[in-house]
Amino acid sequence: RRENALRRAHEPAVTRDGTTVLVGTNVGGAGDAEAAVGADLAGLVRTEFCFLDRHRAPDVDEQEAAYRAIAEAMGGRRVTLRTLDVGGDKPLDYLPMPREANPFLGVRGLRLALARPDLLADQLHAFVRVAHDHPVDVMFPMVTTVDELVAARRALDDAVVTVGRGRPAGLRVGIMVEVPAAALKAPAFAPMVDFFSIGTNDLTQYALAAERGNDAVAPLSDGLDPAVLALIAATAGGAGRADHDVLVAVCGELAGDEDAAALLIGLGVRELSVAPTAVATVKEAVRAVDLTQARALAAAARECPDAHAVRELLR
Ligand code: PEP
Ligand code: MG
């Protein structure tokens, strides 16, 4: 089965009834991009991973080189550059943070970027330079309020002015949906974005109040919980209400679960971004999906009392 999947890895993933679902890869550096055979795009570049070993902040030139290397490894396929997502479980040496009692509820993701506009400006400057030569999506993590997105978009506009070559033609803007509030407010965000990318790792953690990586609550922290499915459905519903196309992606772990592909597509997801090694098999799972059946499956899953019942349904 895996051999068959690998043989077809470079073909698009189309459901039995003709709906194309993009299958991208999550990358932390150019090596991952090279490893992701058949990926339609890089659906999530975790830029914080590019500079984990640094003791001082990388300047604009260094950042540009790192992001450009990833874009070149993707060879013309779209690259989704996420702004720095540190704080919470991800400390960064050159960015000492005040101690917080609850770091996952504190200054992380876009909150930190907006608190350090100097760092955000440098990063967006580097993104825009690369976007003049490659198709780039800019993505903001941990967005909670529309005001935050307004401020982030303004910072991006400023970076376009700083670079001084006009707005790059292929530049698109999106947000991670990983805070339940953002999923529930999707209709308010939709007019301001080109895409939503659902981060099921954090979305699950926050919906179920179960810290990711804490083994003691791992059984609770299940992306198939019907509450998480309701938030994914809310995101897709909000996207559908905009008067332009808003693509709904999933880039959390759940996207790489072959058994979940039909469910996610039935909920309205049209892009899955997964670990480099999972691209081929997830594409193959998409090819087995029938959209009408997938929608019925999603509706049934949402009626389930718990994640266990959803998993039974998927078998
Ligand atoms: C997520 O939260 O699901 C996600 C993809 O982002 P990260 O794992 O980097 O927090
Ligand atoms: Mg996250």
Query: Which tens digit of pLDDT belongs to each residue from 86-113?
Result: 987 777 888 888 889 999 999 999 999 9
Distance CA 144, CA 203 (A): 12
What spacing in Å lies between the alpha carbon of 166 and ligand 1's midpoint?
A: 31
For ligand 1, mutation pick of 26, 50, 80, 85 (most atoms within 8 Å of CB)? 85
Q: Whose alpha carbon is nearest atom 10 of ligand 1?
A: 202
The phi-psi region of residue 40 (left if phi > 0; otherwise alpha if psi is between -120 and 50; otherwise beta) is alpha
Average pLDDT rounded to a whole number, residues 280-302:
98
Residues 6+ apart with CB under 8 A from 65: none
Q: Whose alpha carbon is nearest atom 8 of ligand 1?
A: 201
What spacing in Å lies between the alpha carbon of 204 and ligand 2's midpoint?
A: 10
* Model pLDDT, residue 85: 95
The phi-psi region of residue 38 (left if phi > 0; otherwise alpha if psi is between -120 and 50; otherwise beta) is left
Distance CA 9, CA 211 (A): 35
What spacing in Å lies between the alpha carbon of 160 and ligand 1's midpoint?
A: 27
Alpha helices in 133-199 (DSSP H): 146-163, 180-184, 186-189
What spacing in Å lies between the alpha carbon of 199 and ligand 2's midpoint?
A: 5
The residue written with tokens 């300047």 in the block is 59
Examine the pLDDT at 269 and tell me if it is beyond 80. Answer: yes
* 111, 87 Cβ separation under 8 angstroms: yes
Which chain residues have CB less than 5 Å from ligand 2, an ion? 178, 199, 202
Query: Which tens digit of pLDDT belongs to each residue from 129-179?
Result: 999 999 999 999 999 999 999 999 999 999 999 999 999 999 999 999 999
What spacing in Å lies between the alpha carbon of 163 and ligand 1's midpoint?
A: 29
Distance CA 81, CA 46 (A): 7
Query: Which tens digit of pLDDT belongs to each residue from 109-134?
Result: 999 999 999 999 999 999 999 999 99
Q: Whose alpha carbon is nearest atom 6 of ligand 1?
A: 199
> 3-state DSSP call for residue 247?
strand
Pocket of ligand 1 from Cβ distances under 6 Å = 44, 46, 85, 178, 199-202, 251-252
Residues 6+ apart with CB under 8 A from 267: 229, 232, 233, 236, 298
Average pLDDT along the chain: 96
Average pLDDT rounded to a whole number, residues 248-268:
98
For ligand 1, mutation pick of 47, 89, 202 (most atoms within 8 Å of CB)? 202
Query: Which tens digit of pLDDT belongs to each residue from 172-208?
Result: 999 999 999 999 999 999 999 999 999 999 999 999 9
> 3-state DSSP call for residue 138?
strand
Query: Which tens digit of pLDDT belongs to each residue from 31-71?
Result: 999 999 999 999 999 999 988 888 899 999 999 999 999 99
What spacing in Å lies between the alpha carbon of 300 and ligand 1's midpoint?
A: 27
* Model pLDDT, residue 88: 72
